[in-house]
Structure 1
Amino acid sequence: MILTATTILRKTPLFLPRSSILSPPRNFTSISPNPLQSFNSIFSNRQLGFPGLTKKQMGQGYSRVSAISGGGSGGSSGGNDGGVFGGSSDDGAGGEGDGGNQSKWGLFAWYMDLLVKSPVLTKSVTSALLNLVGDLICQLAIDKVASPDYKRTFTFTFLGLVLVGPTLHYWYLYLSKLVTVPGASGVFLRLILDQFFFAPIFIGTFLSTLITLEGRPSQVVPKLRQEWFSSVIANWKLWIPFQLLNFGFVPQQFQVLASNFVAVIWNVILSFKAHTAVVTK
Protein backbone atom coordinates (compact mmCIF):
# COMPACT_ATOMS: atom_id res chain seq x y z
CA MET A 1 0.00 0.00 0.00
CA ILE A 2 2.75 2.41 0.94
CA LEU A 3 4.72 1.61 -2.17
CA THR A 4 1.64 2.45 -4.19
CA ALA A 5 1.22 5.78 -2.44
CA THR A 6 4.87 6.67 -2.87
CA THR A 7 4.72 5.87 -6.57
CA ILE A 8 1.68 8.06 -7.10
CA LEU A 9 3.39 10.94 -5.33
CA ARG A 10 5.88 11.15 -8.17
CA LYS A 11 4.82 13.47 -10.98
CA THR A 12 4.17 10.83 -13.55
CA PRO A 13 1.95 11.40 -16.59
CA LEU A 14 -1.77 10.93 -16.20
CA PHE A 15 -2.95 7.53 -17.30
CA LEU A 16 -6.30 5.93 -17.84
CA PRO A 17 -7.13 2.30 -17.10
CA ARG A 18 -6.83 -0.25 -19.88
CA SER A 19 -10.05 -1.79 -21.08
CA SER A 20 -9.14 -5.07 -19.44
CA ILE A 21 -9.73 -3.55 -16.00
CA LEU A 22 -13.46 -3.94 -16.55
CA SER A 23 -13.61 -7.71 -16.39
CA PRO A 24 -16.95 -9.26 -17.35
CA PRO A 25 -18.98 -11.41 -14.96
CA ARG A 26 -18.34 -15.12 -15.05
CA ASN A 27 -21.56 -15.92 -16.86
CA PHE A 28 -20.80 -13.39 -19.59
CA THR A 29 -19.77 -15.81 -22.29
CA SER A 30 -19.88 -13.76 -25.45
CA ILE A 31 -18.45 -10.38 -26.36
CA SER A 32 -20.25 -8.11 -28.78
CA PRO A 33 -18.19 -6.64 -31.60
CA ASN A 34 -19.39 -3.28 -30.33
CA PRO A 35 -17.36 -2.50 -27.15
CA LEU A 36 -19.91 -0.01 -25.81
CA GLN A 37 -22.72 -2.52 -26.34
CA SER A 38 -20.75 -5.16 -24.45
CA PHE A 39 -20.00 -2.68 -21.66
CA ASN A 40 -23.67 -1.73 -21.42
CA SER A 41 -24.73 -5.36 -21.26
CA ILE A 42 -22.49 -5.92 -18.24
CA PHE A 43 -24.01 -2.99 -16.36
CA SER A 44 -27.54 -3.93 -17.44
CA ASN A 45 -27.45 -7.59 -16.41
CA ARG A 46 -25.18 -7.88 -13.39
CA GLN A 47 -26.73 -8.25 -9.95
CA LEU A 48 -25.28 -8.19 -6.48
CA GLY A 49 -26.22 -10.47 -3.60
CA PHE A 50 -24.78 -11.06 -0.17
CA PRO A 51 -25.20 -14.47 1.50
CA GLY A 52 -26.35 -14.46 5.08
CA LEU A 53 -27.95 -11.00 4.89
CA THR A 54 -31.66 -10.34 5.13
CA LYS A 55 -33.49 -7.97 2.81
CA LYS A 56 -33.92 -5.55 5.69
CA GLN A 57 -30.17 -5.46 6.28
CA MET A 58 -29.40 -4.98 2.64
CA GLY A 59 -32.04 -2.37 1.91
CA GLN A 60 -31.65 -1.50 -1.74
CA GLY A 61 -28.65 -3.78 -2.09
CA TYR A 62 -30.81 -6.34 -3.85
CA SER A 63 -31.68 -3.94 -6.64
CA ARG A 64 -30.16 -4.45 -10.04
CA VAL A 65 -26.95 -2.57 -10.66
CA SER A 66 -28.68 -0.82 -13.54
CA ALA A 67 -30.60 1.09 -10.89
CA ILE A 68 -27.43 3.05 -10.22
CA SER A 69 -27.73 4.55 -13.64
CA GLY A 70 -31.27 5.77 -13.09
CA GLY A 71 -33.01 2.61 -14.20
CA GLY A 72 -35.16 2.55 -11.09
CA SER A 73 -35.07 0.19 -8.14
CA GLY A 74 -37.17 -2.50 -9.70
CA GLY A 75 -34.61 -5.25 -9.40
CA SER A 76 -35.24 -8.65 -7.93
CA SER A 77 -33.90 -10.09 -4.73
CA GLY A 78 -32.63 -13.16 -6.47
CA GLY A 79 -29.16 -14.61 -6.44
CA ASN A 80 -26.18 -13.66 -8.57
CA ASP A 81 -23.21 -15.16 -10.32
CA GLY A 82 -20.87 -14.55 -7.44
CA GLY A 83 -21.11 -10.79 -7.40
CA VAL A 84 -18.44 -8.20 -6.98
CA PHE A 85 -17.99 -9.16 -3.35
CA GLY A 86 -18.26 -12.89 -3.91
CA GLY A 87 -21.07 -15.03 -2.57
CA SER A 88 -23.34 -17.77 -3.74
CA SER A 89 -25.58 -18.17 -6.73
CA ASP A 90 -28.49 -19.36 -4.59
CA ASP A 91 -31.80 -17.57 -4.76
CA GLY A 92 -32.59 -15.15 -1.96
CA ALA A 93 -30.41 -14.30 0.99
CA GLY A 94 -28.84 -17.69 1.39
CA GLY A 95 -31.02 -18.86 4.29
CA GLU A 96 -30.82 -17.54 7.79
CA GLY A 97 -30.31 -21.04 9.13
CA ASP A 98 -26.84 -21.26 7.61
CA GLY A 99 -24.71 -20.68 10.68
CA GLY A 100 -21.45 -20.59 8.74
CA ASN A 101 -22.62 -17.85 6.42
CA GLN A 102 -24.19 -15.93 9.29
CA SER A 103 -20.91 -15.97 11.18
CA LYS A 104 -18.85 -15.11 8.10
CA TRP A 105 -21.00 -12.14 7.14
CA GLY A 106 -22.02 -11.05 10.64
CA LEU A 107 -19.70 -8.05 10.90
CA PHE A 108 -20.41 -6.96 7.35
CA ALA A 109 -24.16 -7.31 7.95
CA TRP A 110 -23.87 -5.22 11.10
CA TYR A 111 -22.02 -2.48 9.21
CA MET A 112 -24.56 -2.55 6.38
CA ASP A 113 -27.34 -2.24 8.95
CA LEU A 114 -25.63 0.84 10.42
CA LEU A 115 -25.41 2.33 6.93
CA VAL A 116 -29.16 1.92 6.55
CA LYS A 117 -30.06 3.25 10.00
CA SER A 118 -27.50 6.07 10.30
CA PRO A 119 -25.80 6.52 6.90
CA VAL A 120 -24.23 9.94 7.44
CA LEU A 121 -22.91 9.19 10.94
CA THR A 122 -21.58 5.76 9.92
CA LYS A 123 -19.77 7.09 6.85
CA SER A 124 -18.42 10.05 8.83
CA VAL A 125 -16.95 7.86 11.57
CA THR A 126 -15.52 5.50 8.95
CA SER A 127 -13.90 8.40 7.08
CA ALA A 128 -12.46 9.72 10.34
CA LEU A 129 -10.86 6.36 11.14
CA LEU A 130 -9.43 6.05 7.64
CA ASN A 131 -8.06 9.59 7.80
CA LEU A 132 -6.41 8.69 11.09
CA VAL A 133 -4.80 5.57 9.58
CA GLY A 134 -3.71 7.44 6.45
CA ASP A 135 -2.03 10.24 8.36
CA LEU A 136 -0.22 7.87 10.72
CA ILE A 137 1.05 5.81 7.78
CA CYS A 138 2.27 9.01 6.12
CA GLN A 139 4.10 10.20 9.23
CA LEU A 140 5.67 6.88 10.18
CA ALA A 141 6.38 5.31 6.78
CA ILE A 142 6.94 8.27 4.46
CA ASP A 143 7.98 11.19 6.68
CA LYS A 144 9.73 8.66 8.95
CA VAL A 145 9.26 10.69 12.11
CA ALA A 146 10.43 9.26 15.42
CA SER A 147 7.12 10.12 17.09
CA PRO A 148 3.85 11.08 15.39
CA ASP A 149 2.47 14.59 15.64
CA TYR A 150 -0.82 13.72 17.32
CA LYS A 151 -2.20 17.23 16.98
CA ARG A 152 -1.75 16.96 13.21
CA THR A 153 -3.37 13.51 13.25
CA PHE A 154 -6.30 14.78 15.30
CA THR A 155 -6.97 17.62 12.85
CA PHE A 156 -6.72 15.31 9.86
CA THR A 157 -9.07 12.83 11.57
CA PHE A 158 -11.51 15.57 12.56
CA LEU A 159 -11.86 16.67 8.94
CA GLY A 160 -12.66 13.10 7.95
CA LEU A 161 -15.50 13.17 10.46
CA VAL A 162 -17.05 16.55 9.73
CA LEU A 163 -16.06 17.21 6.11
CA VAL A 164 -15.11 14.11 4.12
CA GLY A 165 -17.77 11.62 5.24
CA PRO A 166 -20.83 13.90 5.07
CA THR A 167 -19.72 15.60 1.84
CA LEU A 168 -19.12 12.34 -0.01
CA HIS A 169 -22.42 10.92 1.22
CA TYR A 170 -24.49 13.79 -0.11
CA TRP A 171 -22.40 14.18 -3.27
CA TYR A 172 -22.86 10.55 -4.33
CA LEU A 173 -26.55 10.76 -3.48
CA TYR A 174 -26.96 13.90 -5.56
CA LEU A 175 -24.89 12.45 -8.39
CA SER A 176 -27.13 9.38 -8.64
CA LYS A 177 -30.15 11.66 -8.99
CA LEU A 178 -28.45 14.11 -11.32
CA VAL A 179 -27.33 11.55 -13.89
CA THR A 180 -30.22 9.30 -14.90
CA VAL A 181 -28.69 7.90 -18.10
CA PRO A 182 -28.52 4.08 -17.86
CA GLY A 183 -25.60 1.79 -18.63
CA ALA A 184 -22.06 2.72 -19.53
CA SER A 185 -23.03 6.23 -20.63
CA GLY A 186 -24.28 7.00 -17.13
CA VAL A 187 -21.14 5.56 -15.57
CA PHE A 188 -18.87 7.78 -17.66
CA LEU A 189 -21.02 10.86 -17.03
CA ARG A 190 -20.77 10.27 -13.29
CA LEU A 191 -17.03 9.74 -13.57
CA ILE A 192 -16.55 12.98 -15.50
CA LEU A 193 -18.61 15.02 -13.03
CA ASP A 194 -16.98 13.38 -10.03
CA GLN A 195 -13.37 13.67 -11.16
CA PHE A 196 -13.30 16.82 -13.26
CA PHE A 197 -15.81 18.95 -11.38
CA PHE A 198 -16.18 17.76 -7.79
CA ALA A 199 -12.68 16.43 -7.05
CA PRO A 200 -10.67 19.60 -7.87
CA ILE A 201 -13.03 21.74 -5.79
CA PHE A 202 -13.07 19.32 -2.88
CA ILE A 203 -9.29 18.91 -2.80
CA GLY A 204 -8.84 22.68 -2.69
CA THR A 205 -11.45 22.96 0.07
CA PHE A 206 -9.87 20.18 2.11
CA LEU A 207 -6.34 21.58 1.87
CA SER A 208 -7.49 25.10 2.70
CA THR A 209 -9.55 23.97 5.69
CA LEU A 210 -6.81 21.71 7.03
CA ILE A 211 -4.11 24.36 6.83
CA THR A 212 -6.39 26.93 8.47
CA LEU A 213 -7.29 24.58 11.34
CA GLU A 214 -3.60 23.86 11.84
CA GLY A 215 -3.04 27.58 12.46
CA ARG A 216 -1.39 28.41 9.14
CA PRO A 217 -4.00 30.50 7.30
CA SER A 218 -1.31 32.67 5.68
CA GLN A 219 -0.02 29.56 3.88
CA VAL A 220 -3.32 28.64 2.24
CA VAL A 221 -2.72 30.46 -1.04
CA PRO A 222 0.97 29.47 -1.38
CA LYS A 223 0.10 25.88 -0.51
CA LEU A 224 -2.65 25.72 -3.13
CA ARG A 225 -0.33 27.19 -5.74
CA GLN A 226 2.32 24.61 -4.92
CA GLU A 227 0.34 21.44 -4.24
CA TRP A 228 -3.22 21.75 -5.57
CA PHE A 229 -2.61 20.80 -9.21
CA SER A 230 -0.25 17.90 -8.44
CA SER A 231 -2.78 16.67 -5.87
CA VAL A 232 -5.53 16.72 -8.48
CA ILE A 233 -3.32 14.77 -10.89
CA ALA A 234 -2.53 12.18 -8.19
CA ASN A 235 -6.24 11.98 -7.45
CA TRP A 236 -7.05 11.26 -11.11
CA LYS A 237 -4.39 8.57 -11.36
CA LEU A 238 -5.72 6.73 -8.33
CA TRP A 239 -9.44 7.33 -8.45
CA ILE A 240 -10.35 7.26 -12.16
CA PRO A 241 -9.60 3.52 -12.57
CA PHE A 242 -11.28 2.71 -9.28
CA GLN A 243 -14.37 4.85 -9.86
CA LEU A 244 -14.98 3.21 -13.21
CA LEU A 245 -15.54 0.02 -11.25
CA ASN A 246 -17.23 1.76 -8.32
CA PHE A 247 -19.87 3.55 -10.39
CA GLY A 248 -20.25 0.60 -12.72
CA PHE A 249 -20.64 -2.33 -10.36
CA VAL A 250 -21.35 -1.05 -6.84
CA PRO A 251 -24.87 0.01 -5.72
CA GLN A 252 -25.13 3.67 -4.79
CA GLN A 253 -25.53 3.06 -1.03
CA PHE A 254 -22.26 1.08 -1.00
CA GLN A 255 -20.16 3.48 -3.08
CA VAL A 256 -18.73 5.42 -0.14
CA LEU A 257 -17.97 2.14 1.64
CA ALA A 258 -16.08 0.85 -1.38
CA SER A 259 -14.28 4.16 -1.75
CA ASN A 260 -13.08 3.97 1.84
CA PHE A 261 -10.82 1.01 1.11
CA VAL A 262 -8.98 2.99 -1.58
CA ALA A 263 -9.21 6.11 0.59
CA VAL A 264 -6.48 4.78 2.88
CA ILE A 265 -3.97 5.16 0.03
CA TRP A 266 -5.44 8.52 -0.94
CA ASN A 267 -5.26 9.79 2.66
CA VAL A 268 -1.55 8.97 2.77
CA ILE A 269 -1.06 11.02 -0.40
CA LEU A 270 -3.23 13.89 0.79
CA SER A 271 -1.52 14.04 4.17
CA PHE A 272 1.87 14.15 2.45
CA LYS A 273 0.76 16.92 0.11
CA ALA A 274 -0.83 18.94 2.91
CA HIS A 275 2.28 18.85 5.08
CA THR A 276 4.98 19.37 2.47
CA ALA A 277 6.83 22.56 3.32
CA VAL A 278 5.91 25.55 1.17
CA VAL A 279 8.86 26.57 -0.99
CA THR A 280 9.38 30.33 -0.94
CA LYS A 281 10.37 31.71 -4.32
Structure 2
Amino acid sequence: MAMASALPLLLVSPRPASVARFRPRAAPLSTAAVALRKSGSRVAMLKPLRAASCCNPAAADAAAGGVAAVRAKGLQLVAWYLLSLDKNPVATKAVTSAVLTLAGDLICQLVIDKVPELDLKRTFVFTLLGLVLVGPTLHVWYLYLSKLVTMSGASGAISRLLLDQFIFSPVFIGVFMSLLVTLEGKPSLVVPKLKQEWFSSLIANWQLWIPFQFLNFYFVPQKLQVLAANFVALAWNVILSYKAHKEVIAQ
Protein backbone atom coordinates (compact mmCIF):
# COMPACT_ATOMS: atom_id res chain seq x y z
CA MET A 1 0.00 0.00 0.00
CA ALA A 2 2.87 2.31 0.82
CA MET A 3 4.60 1.42 -2.41
CA ALA A 4 1.41 1.97 -4.39
CA SER A 5 0.89 5.35 -2.77
CA ALA A 6 4.47 6.35 -3.47
CA LEU A 7 4.37 5.39 -7.16
CA PRO A 8 2.20 8.30 -8.29
CA LEU A 9 4.53 10.71 -6.48
CA LEU A 10 7.54 9.33 -8.39
CA LEU A 11 5.68 9.63 -11.69
CA VAL A 12 4.54 13.21 -11.03
CA SER A 13 7.77 14.58 -9.47
CA PRO A 14 10.19 15.96 -12.11
CA ARG A 15 13.59 14.39 -12.42
CA PRO A 16 16.70 16.42 -11.63
CA ALA A 17 17.91 16.00 -15.20
CA SER A 18 14.66 17.29 -16.60
CA VAL A 19 14.88 20.27 -14.27
CA ALA A 20 18.28 21.15 -15.67
CA ARG A 21 17.07 20.46 -19.18
CA PHE A 22 14.17 22.88 -18.97
CA ARG A 23 15.97 25.66 -16.98
CA PRO A 24 15.19 28.98 -18.71
CA ARG A 25 18.05 30.37 -20.75
CA ALA A 26 19.40 33.92 -20.36
CA ALA A 27 18.01 36.40 -22.85
CA PRO A 28 20.41 37.01 -25.73
CA LEU A 29 22.31 40.33 -25.59
CA SER A 30 21.34 42.96 -28.09
CA THR A 31 23.82 44.19 -30.67
CA ALA A 32 24.25 47.48 -28.79
CA ALA A 33 24.96 45.68 -25.55
CA VAL A 34 27.56 43.46 -27.24
CA ALA A 35 29.25 46.50 -28.76
CA LEU A 36 29.18 48.27 -25.40
CA ARG A 37 30.72 45.28 -23.67
CA LYS A 38 33.44 45.06 -26.33
CA SER A 39 34.18 48.75 -26.16
CA GLY A 40 34.34 48.57 -22.39
CA SER A 41 36.84 45.77 -22.59
CA ARG A 42 38.93 47.75 -25.07
CA VAL A 43 38.91 50.79 -22.83
CA ALA A 44 39.92 48.61 -19.93
CA MET A 45 42.80 47.25 -22.01
CA LEU A 46 43.88 50.75 -23.13
CA LYS A 47 43.86 52.30 -19.68
CA PRO A 48 47.06 50.59 -18.52
CA LEU A 49 48.73 51.47 -21.82
CA ARG A 50 47.77 55.12 -21.53
CA ALA A 51 48.84 55.23 -17.94
CA ALA A 52 52.15 53.69 -18.88
CA SER A 53 52.70 56.19 -21.71
CA CYS A 54 51.62 59.18 -19.62
CA CYS A 55 53.61 58.18 -16.64
CA ASN A 56 56.64 56.96 -18.57
CA PRO A 57 59.60 58.65 -16.92
CA ALA A 58 61.66 58.43 -20.11
CA ALA A 59 58.98 60.19 -22.17
CA ALA A 60 58.53 62.86 -19.53
CA ASP A 61 62.27 63.44 -19.35
CA ALA A 62 62.48 63.68 -23.15
CA ALA A 63 59.69 66.28 -23.27
CA ALA A 64 61.25 68.30 -20.48
CA GLY A 65 64.60 68.08 -22.21
CA GLY A 66 63.09 69.42 -25.45
CA VAL A 67 61.53 72.40 -23.69
CA ALA A 68 64.77 73.09 -21.85
CA ALA A 69 66.72 72.93 -25.13
CA VAL A 70 64.40 75.44 -26.82
CA ARG A 71 64.60 77.75 -23.82
CA ALA A 72 68.38 77.47 -23.74
CA LYS A 73 68.61 78.36 -27.46
CA GLY A 74 66.35 81.35 -26.92
CA LEU A 75 68.48 82.57 -24.03
CA GLN A 76 71.62 82.07 -26.11
CA LEU A 77 70.12 84.14 -28.92
CA VAL A 78 69.19 86.96 -26.53
CA ALA A 79 72.65 86.84 -24.94
CA TRP A 80 74.28 86.95 -28.39
CA TYR A 81 72.17 89.95 -29.40
CA LEU A 82 72.98 91.84 -26.21
CA LEU A 83 76.68 91.11 -26.72
CA SER A 84 76.40 92.42 -30.29
CA LEU A 85 74.77 95.58 -28.96
CA ASP A 86 77.73 96.11 -26.63
CA LYS A 87 80.41 95.41 -29.25
CA ASN A 88 78.81 96.92 -32.37
CA PRO A 89 75.75 98.94 -31.31
CA VAL A 90 75.33 100.96 -34.52
CA ALA A 91 75.76 98.01 -36.88
CA THR A 92 73.49 95.77 -34.80
CA LYS A 93 70.71 98.35 -34.66
CA ALA A 94 71.11 99.11 -38.37
CA VAL A 95 70.76 95.46 -39.38
CA THR A 96 67.81 95.01 -37.02
CA SER A 97 66.06 98.04 -38.52
CA ALA A 98 66.76 96.74 -42.03
CA VAL A 99 65.13 93.40 -41.23
CA LEU A 100 62.10 95.13 -39.73
CA THR A 101 61.67 97.54 -42.63
CA LEU A 102 62.00 94.64 -45.06
CA ALA A 103 59.32 92.66 -43.22
CA GLY A 104 57.10 95.74 -42.88
CA ASP A 105 57.12 96.53 -46.60
CA LEU A 106 56.50 92.90 -47.57
CA ILE A 107 53.53 92.71 -45.20
CA CYS A 108 52.21 95.97 -46.59
CA GLN A 109 52.46 94.81 -50.20
CA LEU A 110 51.07 91.32 -49.66
CA VAL A 111 48.43 91.90 -46.98
CA ILE A 112 47.28 95.51 -47.36
CA ASP A 113 48.00 96.44 -50.97
CA LYS A 114 47.51 92.83 -52.15
CA VAL A 115 49.73 93.34 -55.16
CA PRO A 116 49.77 90.58 -57.80
CA GLU A 117 53.55 90.83 -57.95
CA LEU A 118 56.06 92.21 -55.46
CA ASP A 119 57.72 95.52 -56.27
CA LEU A 120 61.29 94.54 -55.43
CA LYS A 121 62.69 98.00 -56.11
CA ARG A 122 60.29 99.46 -53.58
CA THR A 123 61.26 96.83 -51.02
CA PHE A 124 64.95 97.38 -51.65
CA VAL A 125 64.73 101.16 -51.16
CA PHE A 126 62.59 100.83 -48.05
CA THR A 127 65.01 98.28 -46.55
CA LEU A 128 68.03 100.39 -47.50
CA LEU A 129 66.62 103.35 -45.59
CA GLY A 130 66.07 101.11 -42.59
CA LEU A 131 69.72 100.07 -42.76
CA VAL A 132 71.46 103.41 -43.37
CA LEU A 133 68.98 105.91 -41.92
CA VAL A 134 66.57 104.50 -39.33
CA GLY A 135 68.87 102.33 -37.20
CA PRO A 136 71.88 104.66 -36.99
CA THR A 137 69.74 107.79 -36.54
CA LEU A 138 67.70 106.28 -33.71
CA HIS A 139 70.89 105.10 -32.01
CA VAL A 140 72.39 108.61 -32.05
CA TRP A 141 69.10 110.26 -31.08
CA TYR A 142 68.38 108.04 -28.08
CA LEU A 143 71.95 108.43 -26.87
CA TYR A 144 71.74 112.21 -27.16
CA LEU A 145 68.31 112.26 -25.54
CA SER A 146 69.54 110.35 -22.48
CA LYS A 147 72.35 112.88 -22.05
CA LEU A 148 70.09 115.86 -22.69
CA VAL A 149 67.47 114.81 -20.13
CA THR A 150 69.15 113.57 -16.98
CA MET A 151 66.05 113.52 -14.78
CA SER A 152 64.83 110.12 -13.63
CA GLY A 153 61.37 108.79 -12.97
CA ALA A 154 58.16 109.92 -14.61
CA SER A 155 59.29 113.52 -15.12
CA GLY A 156 62.33 112.39 -17.08
CA ALA A 157 60.27 109.96 -19.17
CA ILE A 158 57.71 112.65 -20.00
CA SER A 159 60.44 115.13 -20.96
CA ARG A 160 62.08 112.62 -23.31
CA LEU A 161 58.69 111.71 -24.72
CA LEU A 162 57.83 115.32 -25.55
CA LEU A 163 61.17 115.91 -27.25
CA ASP A 164 60.97 112.63 -29.13
CA GLN A 165 57.41 112.92 -30.41
CA PHE A 166 57.01 116.66 -30.97
CA ILE A 167 60.48 117.63 -32.20
CA PHE A 168 62.27 114.56 -33.54
CA SER A 169 59.38 112.57 -35.04
CA PRO A 170 57.90 115.31 -37.26
CA VAL A 171 61.33 116.04 -38.78
CA PHE A 172 62.30 112.38 -39.12
CA ILE A 173 59.07 111.35 -40.86
CA GLY A 174 59.46 114.21 -43.34
CA VAL A 175 63.08 113.29 -44.08
CA PHE A 176 62.25 109.60 -44.45
CA MET A 177 59.40 110.21 -46.90
CA SER A 178 61.43 112.69 -48.93
CA LEU A 179 64.37 110.31 -49.27
CA LEU A 180 62.10 107.39 -50.09
CA VAL A 181 60.30 109.18 -52.91
CA THR A 182 63.60 110.55 -54.26
CA LEU A 183 65.37 107.18 -54.24
CA GLU A 184 62.40 105.62 -56.00
CA GLY A 185 63.01 108.03 -58.86
CA LYS A 186 60.17 110.48 -58.23
CA PRO A 187 61.78 113.62 -56.80
CA SER A 188 59.08 115.83 -58.30
CA LEU A 189 56.52 114.15 -56.02
CA VAL A 190 58.31 114.97 -52.76
CA VAL A 191 56.35 118.13 -51.99
CA PRO A 192 52.93 116.72 -53.05
CA LYS A 193 53.64 113.56 -51.06
CA LEU A 194 54.47 115.55 -47.92
CA LYS A 195 51.40 117.71 -48.31
CA GLN A 196 49.18 114.66 -48.67
CA GLU A 197 50.65 112.16 -46.23
CA TRP A 198 53.00 113.85 -43.75
CA PHE A 199 50.46 115.07 -41.20
CA SER A 200 48.30 111.92 -41.27
CA SER A 201 51.49 109.87 -40.83
CA LEU A 202 52.45 112.03 -37.87
CA ILE A 203 49.04 111.50 -36.25
CA ALA A 204 49.37 107.73 -36.74
CA ASN A 205 52.86 107.94 -35.25
CA TRP A 206 51.57 109.70 -32.15
CA GLN A 207 48.73 107.23 -31.67
CA LEU A 208 51.11 104.28 -31.78
CA TRP A 209 54.30 105.58 -30.24
CA ILE A 210 53.33 108.00 -27.45
CA PRO A 211 51.98 105.30 -25.07
CA PHE A 212 54.81 102.93 -25.89
CA GLN A 213 57.63 105.45 -25.73
CA PHE A 214 56.59 106.61 -22.28
CA LEU A 215 56.98 103.04 -21.02
CA ASN A 216 60.18 102.67 -23.02
CA PHE A 217 61.80 105.80 -21.56
CA TYR A 218 60.52 105.06 -18.06
CA PHE A 219 61.40 101.37 -17.66
CA VAL A 220 64.01 100.38 -20.28
CA PRO A 221 67.75 101.15 -19.99
CA GLN A 222 69.09 103.47 -22.68
CA LYS A 223 71.10 100.87 -24.57
CA LEU A 224 68.03 98.61 -24.88
CA GLN A 225 65.55 101.29 -25.91
CA VAL A 226 66.05 100.76 -29.65
CA LEU A 227 65.68 97.02 -29.10
CA ALA A 228 62.45 97.56 -27.21
CA ALA A 229 61.18 99.92 -29.90
CA ASN A 230 61.77 97.22 -32.50
CA PHE A 231 58.82 95.24 -31.13
CA VAL A 232 56.51 98.09 -32.17
CA ALA A 233 58.55 99.11 -35.21
CA LEU A 234 57.24 96.26 -37.36
CA ALA A 235 53.68 97.55 -37.11
CA TRP A 236 54.88 101.12 -37.66
CA ASN A 237 56.87 100.08 -40.76
CA VAL A 238 53.73 98.57 -42.27
CA ILE A 239 51.86 101.84 -41.67
CA LEU A 240 54.75 103.98 -42.94
CA SER A 241 55.16 101.88 -46.08
CA TYR A 242 51.46 102.20 -46.81
CA LYS A 243 51.46 105.97 -46.27
CA ALA A 244 54.66 106.55 -48.21
CA HIS A 245 53.50 104.56 -51.24
CA LYS A 246 49.95 105.85 -51.56
CA GLU A 247 49.33 107.37 -54.92
CA VAL A 248 49.53 111.15 -54.92
CA ILE A 249 46.17 112.62 -55.82
CA ALA A 250 46.49 115.50 -58.27
CA GLN A 251 45.00 118.75 -57.02
Q: Same fold (TM over 0.5)?
A: yes
Q: Distance in 1 between matches of 2:129 and 2:94?
A: 9
Change (3 A) 1:185 1:118: same
Q: Distance in 1 between matches of 2:71 and 2:122?
A: 41
Matched, 1:119 2:89: yes
Structure of greater relative contact order (alpha carbons < 8 Å, 6+ residues apart): 1
Tell me how far 1:102 sits from its aligned partner: 4.6
Which of 207, 211, 232 matches 1:241? 211
Name the structure 1 match of 2:61. Answer: none
The alignment yields a C-alpha RMSD, in angstroms, of 1.4
- CA deviation vs aligned residue, 1:175-229 (integer Å, no higher than 9, x gap): 0000011211000000000000000000000000000000000000000000000
Considering fraction of residues, name the structure with more helix: 2
Name the structure 1 match of 2:46. Answer: none
Aligned residues: 184
Q: Distance in 1 between matches of 2:200 and 2:111?
A: 21
Name the structure 2 match of 1:110. Answer: 80
Which SS does the other structure have where 2:111 is aligned? helix
**Structure 1 vs Structure 2: percent identity of aligned residues?**
68
Which SS does the other structure have where 1:129 is aligned? helix
- Opposite residue 239 of structure 2, the aligned amino acid is I
Which SS does the other structure have where 2:126 is aligned? helix
- CA deviation vs aligned residue, 1:262-281 (integer Å, no higher than 9, x gap): 00000000000110000111
Change (3 A) 1:222 1:185: same
- CA deviation vs aligned residue, 1:84-132 (integer Å, no higher than 9, x gap): xxxxxxxxxxxxxx98875441100000000000000000000000000
- Opposite residue 212 of structure 1, the aligned amino acid is T
Tell me how far 1:236 sits from its aligned partner: 0.1
Runs of 4+ in 1 over 2 A off after TM superposition: 98-104
Which SS does the other structure have where 1:111 is aligned? helix
Which SS does the other structure have where 1:242 is aligned? helix
Q: Distance in 1 between matches of 2:204 and 2:194?
A: 14
Which SS does the other structure have where 2:98 is aligned? helix
Matched, 1:174 2:130: no
- Opposite residue 224 of structure 1, the aligned amino acid is L
Name the structure 2 match of 1:155. Answer: 125
Between Structure 1 and Structure 2, whose CA radius of gyration is higher?
Answer: 2
Task: Decide which moves more: 194-203 or 241-250.
Answer: 241-250
Which of 218, 225, 228 matches 2:195? 225
